[in-house]
Chain A
Amino acid sequence: MTTASRLPDPYGQGGGANLADILERVLDKGIVIAGDIRINLLDIELLTIKLRLIVASVDKAKEMGIDWWESDPSLSSGARRDELARENAELRERLARLEQLELGRTREEEAP
């Protein structure tokens, strides 16, 4: 057995691991045994936890200048509206140009 051998510092004691790393392992990995107290951890799946992390930290994150979700259409209805508006504008523009093209072509055809 080599279990007593020194492991390289600074990585001892889960160094560098953040709460997400720890939660990922203790909630999602490891041996699953049905104890006397039956809790289905799948009820609170990791995804939910992560969303909760986000929700719980919104203010803190904003302080830190992280606000990516505000521009992420799947997380912010405001962003979804912006995205739709942008797409809408773009489509109108394309349509207008196509109509012009079409109009030009028709004129050419009509021209003797």
Chain B
Amino acid sequence: MTGLRYVYAVCRPFDAPLQAQLTGVGGAPVKMLAHHGLVAVVSSVPEGDFAEAPLREHLEDLDWLGATARAHQQVVDALTAVTTPLPLRLATVFRDDSGVRVMIESGEEAFRRTLDRLDGRVEWGVKVYIEGGEEPAEAAPAAKPVSGRDYLRQRRNRAQEREDRWRAAERFATRLHGTLAAHAEDSRLHAPQNSALTRGSGHNVLNAAYLVPRAHSEEFVELVDHTKDEEPGMRVELTGPWAAYSFVDPEGRGAGEAAGTGGTGDTSGEAE
């Protein structure tokens, strides 16, 4: 294997066969690099694409970034089907195998701790959207205002309608998050997506991730399904199962919300 080493994930050794023909970034075959009782899942990537300068340039290219992100996710997905991988951030690249081994050694303890914590768990993503036109009152223009006061009243009514819709959405999202968090081991609230250009319509008001034991996933999915028609004008979207991307850090990065379950016993020391 020549070229640089792109690392997708770290996991424990596993016996189950990966899907045949699994390829990674750039279509290169994926390989397991075992070291110190852990496995780094790697593939070879060309220097021409992944050395510092070309990589920086590529990352500005949405098509390249999209394809690379999908390839990365495809490998992590395949691993998630057979084991519990710790997904690494996109474009974690080393010069050679020995660089990867050094990385495993220096992170060994944290990897084990995190693998123990996440073993047998997957992440489910749940998003809530306000359905329909953003501005219903403007879509169907009201009668022409006959006076300034009339104009202002119409304007106020529109603002009121909008506010009511947002309030209702917020109440629904808060309630749903409460229910789902109670059925999950942990949860994270992510920033709502700018949904105007992603698939579907509506405004994203809740973007959350839930850590759920694999064995309980079916119930969790059913739970989400039940909520789907609960509230008119709201759309609930479920994605997953993902590798536990959002939970590799025990406390959640940045302004992470407090962990839902009081499992903070062994969080001394950082995961990185």
Chain A residues packing against B (C-beta within 8 Å): 1-5, 7-8, 11-27, 29-33, 35-39, 41, 43-44, 49-50, 52-54, 56-57, 61, 66, 68-69, 90, 93-94, 96-97
Contacts and interface: CB of A to CB of B under 8 A. Distances in A.
Nearest to A17: B239
A84 B152 CA distance: 16
B193 to A, nearest CB: 5
B90 A27 contact: yes
B91 A31 contact: no
A8 B195 CA distance: 26
A22 B7 CA distance: 17
B73 A53 contact: no
Contacts of B59: 39, 41, 44
A11 B241 contact: yes
A100 B77 CA distance: 70
A61 to B, nearest CB: 5
Interface in B113-161: 114, 119-120, 122, 125, 134, 148-149, 151-152, 155
B56 interface: yes
A94 B81 CA distance: 64
B70 interface: yes
B264 interface: no
A31 B272 contact: yes
Given A16-B239, A37-B51, A30 B87 contact: yes
A19 B66 contact: yes
Contacts of A13: 77
Which interface residue of A11, A36, A69 has the most chain B CB atoms within 10 A?
A36
Contacts of B83: 3
B93 A31 contact: no
Given A1-B120, A7-B217, A30-B86, 18 more contacts: A3-B84, A3-B214, A5-B215, A11-B239, A19-B70, A20-B194, A22-B73, A24-B190, A29-B245, A31-B10, A31-B89, A32-B89, A37-B93, A50-B193, A54-B197, A56-B62, A69-B196, A90-B155
Contacts of A35: 7, 91-94, 99, 103
B89 A15 contact: no
16 contacts: A2-B120, A2-B213, A3-B214, A4-B82, A8-B221, A25-B245, A26-B90, A27-B89, A32-B88, A32-B89, A35-B103, A36-B94, A37-B50, A50-B193, A53-B197, A69-B196
Nearest to B248: A31
Contacts of B152: 90, 93-94
Contacts of A27: 69, 89-90
